[in-house]
Structure 1
Amino acid sequence: MTTSFPMNAGDGLYSYSKNSHLQKEIIDGAKEMMRDVIIRKLDIKTILSSSNTLHITELGCSVGPNTFSSMQHIVEALKDKYLYQDQVIDSTKSTIPEFQIFFNDQVTNDFNTLFRSLPVDRFYYASGVPGSFHGRLFPSRSIHFAHCSTAIHWLSKIPKELLDKNSPAWNKGLIDYAGASNVEIVNAYVAQFERDMEMFFNARAEEIVPGGMMVLVTPISGYIRLLRFFGSSLMDMVNEGKLDEFLVDSFNLPLYLPSPQDMTKVVEKNGLFSIERMELINIKSNLVDEVDAKTLMMSLRSAIEGVIINHFGSKIAEEACARTILKSKEISEWMKVNYEKASILFVALKRK
């Protein structure tokens, strides 16, 4: 069963809607490539057939402005491609299709805040579809375009090997796989990612029309190292006698950031989609000084705090997150060396 830990709800100080700057950088970094692949690779006339409504899904939409920005950009690109194809076929026609967008996230996602903040000037109909994207969400052959940004790295569950103290994959003193000296730990994460993506692709293959497209955008492995600052805060509390060490040893974030090789492997193994484009995008981050370090860690807090609360309780989670924000000087020094070189993985797939 998929574990549900959505982004922080509402619009308060620590909410995802107010603290998704990192995710915005990733989404903005992929916009031009997104438009290019739609214009070059998607045959809208063929996939629409007799319908005049394009069905789009935003998988892992969360809450806040980023999802609306993505959808506006995608709708504009789809509209332009449609009009271009329309005029090539018949220059006297200039009809515009209608757009139906299905915003999907876990059942505990804050859909109320999401729909309260829908843009009033949007050019699409909006619906919410709660449920895990690791399983079926839509009727067969009902989706023309699927988009998933900064979400597929969330695993459906923690690999069971990490929870066994006697296992070679016991992840003592760490909360993720970055920096793990034992290859068994990394292998456990990779295996879970591969199982999850097989379920993900099988579900989408049923839902997306032949010739339909799916775009996945995800940060790659370098970003995971930022999470070690949360881990070091937890270990500080252990060393001060405020936290049982076993609680930290038994805690692992359900995150795996895939490499291009990882993604190629799972797509080719599944065999139901063709890779139309796969590329690393280097983004020039504006988050580089000490103030920006706080902004960045607030973004990460809004994403992972729910997982931390589930394991440690709200009091420990609050202190650990607060301690991490106070490491802003140390974090900014790390960012100057590493974060400006951050990359994201852009993957455009077409249903065979």
Structure 2
Amino acid sequence: MEDSSNVSEEYPMKGGDGPNSYAKNSIQQKVVVDATKELLRKAMKEKLDLEPFNTFHIADLGCSVGPNTFFSVENILEAVIFEYQSRGPSSEIPEFQVFFNDHTLNDFNTLFKSLPQNRNYHAVGVPGSFYGRLFPKASVNVFHSSFALHWLSRVPKNVMDKSSRAWNKGRIHYSNNQDEVFKAYQAQYAEDMECFLRARALETVHRGLIVLNLLGLPRPFVEMVAFDILGSCFLEMAGKGVISEETVDSFNIPSYFVSPQELEVIVERNGCFSIERLETLPQHVVKHGARSASAIAKAAASTLRAAIEGLIKQHFGEEILDDLFSLYQQKIEEQISIYESKTPFVLFVVLKRKTN
């Protein structure tokens, strides 16, 4: 667990509040937060054990810079307060402390400058990888994470090894790839999630909850069109001599989209949590309204850039970013029907800490 956190790669979402920032380009994530609000409320009502805590602790893992983390926290607080109030006037509502966690390189300045002024909780920043320990034992009542756990702690080592059968030459992801590459990503995800669950098992109060919004793909379907199109952009730029093919060969996106069956196996193998809820949200629920192909393509390019600009900048340099995402937007618009039909689904997951 400690080893995984020590070698984790830190490429947080684009900070600040500029036109390419995550704060300005995370509308789709907000749609999912809104779509799961009622599911979260039901989970708090049915699965949360309310005890007379003096302080109730909530942690949002992978908080980025806002504003979505604030909406998620508010949804949890509303549900928890409602449950305390439903017990009658004699039920004392505790104070609330919220921990906002992300990589040490996350833009916590922007995050805390935009904290809601009328919040009814004490806010704390917790830098560090959620694949390692972050909190004291049995100290957190509810963990929450949305659109974060598909990011791996690192690129699988063997996809970077030219002597390995899993060497990922000419590609940037396992999508539509040979079995060896997919298995390398799959093994890294399983290792990371075991680290995640082991850490949370120590930090969660007995019978506390973990609530997750995860990006997933069914099996045997392993096609991530967005990354396939981005990979084709890199190859096109390499063909023009803008970047080298060798640089493309050594670039891989550390991201994995789990299936419900895989997640069940990982949680059951860990043994510390029961799966209280695991369901796939209908695609129409999490899509951002009816839009034109050009609007969808523009939003897709902006959203992806906000998420992985740091990763690309570190490997290829800053000067290619504008041209790269302009080309990506163009290709998305040209292949809009394929892009729209093969986007990942969202898994809503509720785990409960076992008492043993």
Q: TM-score range by the shorter chain?
A: over 0.9
Partner deviation per Cα, 1:110-161 (whole Å, 9 max, x = no partner): 0000000011121211110000000000111110000011001110011001
**TM-score normalized by structure 1?**
0.93
Matched with 1:254 is 254
Q: Pick the aligned partner of 1:295 from 296, 299, 306.
A: 299
Q: Does 1:61 align with 2:67?
A: no
Alignment of 1:1-352 (within 5 A): 1-45=7-51, 49=52, 51-84=53-86, 86-87=87-88, 92-180=89-177, 182-221=178-217, 224-284=224-284, 285=287, 286=289, 288-289=291-292, 290-339=294-343, 343-352=345-354
Q: In structure 2, do the counterparts of structure 1 residues 338 and 190 end up closer, same or farther at CA, with 3 Å as the change threshold?
A: closer
Q: In structure 2, do the counterparts of structure 1 residues 27 and 269 end up closer, same or farther at CA, with 3 Å as the change threshold?
A: same
Contact in 1 for aligned 2:296/2:333 (Cα 8 Å): no
Displacement of 1:63 after TM fit? 0.8
Structure 1 stretch displaced more, 162-171 or 24-33:
24-33
C-alpha distance in 2, partners of 1:288/1:261?
33
C-alpha distance in 1, partners of 2:225/2:120?
39
Partner deviation per Cα, 1:171-195 (whole Å, 9 max, x = no partner): 1221111111x10100000000011
Contact in 1 for aligned 2:225/2:339 (Cα 8 Å): no
Q: Which has the higher helix share?
A: 1
SS of 1:138 mapped into structure 2: coil
SS of 1:16 mapped into structure 2: coil
Contact in 2 for aligned 1:22/1:296 (Cα 8 Å): no
SS of 2:224 mapped into structure 1: helix
Partner deviation per Cα, 1:181-227 (whole Å, 9 max, x = no partner): x1010000000001101111111111101010001111112783212
C-alpha distance in 2, partners of 1:11/1:187?
38
Contact in 2 for aligned 1:293/1:331 (Cα 8 Å): no
Structure 1 stretch displaced more, 185-194 or 321-330:
321-330
Displacement of 1:238 after TM fit? 1.4
User: Superposition RMSD on alpha carbons, in Å?
Assistant: 1.6
Q: In structure 2, do the counterparts of structure 1 residues 350 and 135 end up closer, same or farther at CA, with 3 Å as the change threshold?
A: same
SS of 2:262 mapped into structure 1: helix
Contact in 2 for aligned 1:63/1:110 (Cα 8 Å): yes
C-alpha distance in 1, partners of 2:223/2:290?
13
Contact in 2 for aligned 1:287/1:296 (Cα 8 Å): no
The number of aligned residues is 340
| Identical pairs, percent | 46
Q: In structure 2, do the counterparts of structure 1 residues 269 and 288 end up closer, same or farther at CA, with 3 Å as the change threshold?
A: farther
Displacement of 1:11 after TM fit? 0.4
Matched with 2:3 is none
Structure 1, gaps ≥5 residues long: none
